[in-house]
Structure 1
Amino acid sequence: MKRFLINILKVIMLPVIVYLIFLVICFERFSNWNCIYTIFIQTIIPTITAYAIAYGNICGVFDFTIGSRLVISGVIGGLLAAQYGFAGMILGAIISAIVVGIITGVLNWWLKIPSLVLTMGLAMVFEIIGSKLAGHYGFVQIDNKYAIFGSSPNIVIIFLLSAVLFYFVFNHTVFSFHMRAVGSNEAVAKNSGIKTDLVKCKSFVYGSVFIGIAAILTLSQSGSVGAQTSLGSVTIMFKPLISVLLALVLQRICDLTIGIFIAQFTLNIIFIGLIAVGLPDTFQNVVLGFFLLVVMILFENSGRIEELKEKRAARQKAMSAS
């Protein structure tokens, strides 16, 4: 129990330390609860998107189509909202996300080419499809009465339900154990009787549910979804992907469900803080990259750091005894 509480404290300290740094730098902007609430709300959609990325990432699949699939899902949901209301928006977004996810997963299974190459090509194809569906103006809008999921408390409730769903699938299903086995060593997993190609295909499909949810929230929060071209959709998955990488490091001390949220929350603090400071976009990316490196170095070498501390303590004890 003591170790569990210490691990929770370690995880929470990451965003707290980052927030305190920006509190000192920009006290007026960060010294109110409204700032924390705003960061939390802005963390929800990227976190759900990161849940979609996590499945593929864990089983060794790199998926460039996340953003383009989210756009297609949002566009179809928006178009069907005008025809069939809430039911059209919800079912249209989720079903279209799953269908496109199945297509991606099956092609990855059949074509036997690296997922990085396949999904990059598919991302460009899906962007064109999304652009055609969006029509002449390149975006789809919804009526304000269908945007209730984009504000509190509805968006918070949907986020909590999404987190519970991700937690259950990741921790309490056979698929999750097969997924981790494939990601750990695909050859060994295959020799153990696991259908590795099927597991990878399922990772696209399972992730598509969260893509559909993220599309609905995006549509509701902004009131529209715009088409992307020339791999512009890849930027949608940039921050969620980094949060997954950080969460996989944090997984040693907390569940991946919480780790992804904590990592994304911390990243949002950094982005908002850098904007408040007035730094240009290029320098923001430099700071973000540096932060990612520092965190991963510290956590990846945590065992070595502990060994050095123990050796130092033993040396000091020996010196005091002599």
Structure 2
Amino acid sequence: MKTTLLKDLKALLLPIIVYCVFLAISFERFSNLNGIYTIFLQSIIPTMTAYAVAFGYMCGIFDFTIGSRIIISGLIGGIMSSWFGLPGLIIGCLVASLVLSAVTGILNWVCRIPSLILTMALTMIYEIVGKNIAGKFSFISIDYQHAVLGASPYIVYVLIFATIIFYFLFSFTKFSYHMRAVGSDEAVAKNTGIKTQFVKFMSFVIGGIFIAIAAILTISQSGSMGAQTGLGSATLIFKPLMGIMIAIVLQPLCNITFGILISQLTLNTIFIGLIAAGLPDTFQNISLGFFLLVVMIISNNVGGSKNLLTKLHAPFVTRAETAAAGSQTKGE
């Protein structure tokens, strides 16, 4: 237990180091404790989206539809909230998300084509569906009384609840082990008796739970949900996907559940820090991409770096051992 806690604290150093860098650059803006809490709150929705992406990603599926499913779920939840209040918002988002997830999973099962191609085509279709649901104004608003889950402290309670669910599903269920086996080598997993297509289908459905949570928080936090077209909804998955990649790098230090949250805190700190520094949007995207490249390069070359250091250090060790042996001979 003590070792696990120590590793988690080591992983937590990543966002702390990034924060300290921006604290040195802009001390007045980053020395405020409210700013730290704001960064934390703004990391919650990307974390929920990353939890949704993680199931398909670990199963070897690249799902473009997640953003469009969040939008449709939020739109239907918003409509339901006008009739049934907060329960309508929650039930509407959950039912819409699970139905869309099941449809996407069934099509992936039946069509047997690469998930990238299928989900990109479905994203275009889902965006048109979302635009028709949103109506001529292309967005749906909800009453502020029904948007309590998007504000503090309720949004933190939702985060804790969702994190516990994800941790349990990802760490202690047989489905999780089957999912990772399919993602590692589908042919081998199939030969061992795992129903690979069913596992992929369930990865869509279970991920749909977290899509619903992300939709509820998104429409509650902003007070409205707008439709997207032209694959605009796909942008919602880029930062969560980056967070998953960083979380995989952090896996030797902490469980991926906490790794995703830590990585989203890090990315959000960078994003807010660049805004505070007055840099344009294009440079912010370049910086985030560069940060991801640095993390991935370091993680994928740790073994090579160790071997290189060993080779460079070996001649000096040999010389030192030879000199020590010579000194001992002379002494004798």
Q: Which digits, 9 at most, give the CA deviation of each residue in 1:58-98, with x for residues without a partner?
A: 01000000000000000000000001111111001011100
Distance in 2 (CA, whole Å) between partners of 1:12 and 1:310 is 29
Contact 2:127 2:233 in 1 (8 A): yes
Distance in 2 (CA, whole Å) between partners of 1:236 and 1:58 is 19
- Does 2:41 match 1:45? no
Q: Which digits, 9 at most, give the CA deviation of each residue in 1:231-283, with x for residues without a partner?
A: 11011111111101111121122101001011111000111111111111111
| 1:265-276 alignment, distance < 5 Å | 265-276=265-276
- For the residue of structure 1 that corresponds to 2:43, the secondary structure is helix
* Corresponding residue of 1:203: 203
* Corresponding residue of 1:249: 249
Distance in 2 (CA, whole Å) between partners of 1:9 and 1:74 is 35
* Corresponding residue of 2:127: 127
**Taking every aligned residue pair, what percent have the same amino acid on both sides?**
57
- Does 2:179 match 1:179? yes
2:133 maps to a residue whose letter is: L
Q: 1:169 to 1:2 in 2, by over 3 A?
A: closer
Distance in 2 (CA, whole Å) between partners of 1:154 and 1:312 is 55
| 1:228-243 alignment, distance < 5 Å | 228-243=228-243
- For the residue of structure 2 that corresponds to 1:193, the secondary structure is coil
Distance in 1 (CA, whole Å) between partners of 2:169 and 2:45 is 19
Report the Cα offset of residue 305 of structure 1: 3.1
2:247 maps to a residue whose letter is: A
- For the residue of structure 2 that corresponds to 1:72, the secondary structure is helix
- For the residue of structure 2 that corresponds to 1:220, the secondary structure is helix
Report the Cα offset of residue 313 of structure 1: 6.0
Q: Which digits, 9 at most, give the CA deviation of each residue in 1:109-154, with x for residues without a partner?
A: 0001110000001001111111111111111111111011011111
Q: Indicate the structure (1 or 2) with the bigger Cα radius of gyration.
A: 2
* Corresponding residue of 1:290: 290
Specify every segment of 5 or more residues in structure 2 that has no aligned partner in the other structure, as ranges.
Answer: 324-332
- For the residue of structure 2 that corresponds to 1:137, the secondary structure is coil
Specify every segment of 5 or more residues in structure 1 that has no aligned partner in the other structure, as ranges.
Answer: none
* Corresponding residue of 1:191: 191
Report the Cα offset of residue 40 of structure 1: 0.2
* Corresponding residue of 2:85: 85
| 1:1-322 alignment, distance < 5 Å | 4-309=4-309, 318-321=318-321, 322=323
Contact 2:77 2:88 in 1 (8 A): yes
Q: 1:2 to 1:146 in 2, by over 3 A?
A: closer
- For the residue of structure 2 that corresponds to 1:252, the secondary structure is coil
1:297 maps to a residue whose letter is: I
Alignment TM-score, normalising by the size of structure 1: 0.96
2:90 maps to a residue whose letter is: I
Distance in 1 (CA, whole Å) between partners of 2:145 and 2:66 is 27
RMSD, matched Cα: 1.6
- For the residue of structure 2 that corresponds to 1:20, the secondary structure is helix
Report the Cα offset of residue 196 of structure 1: 0.6
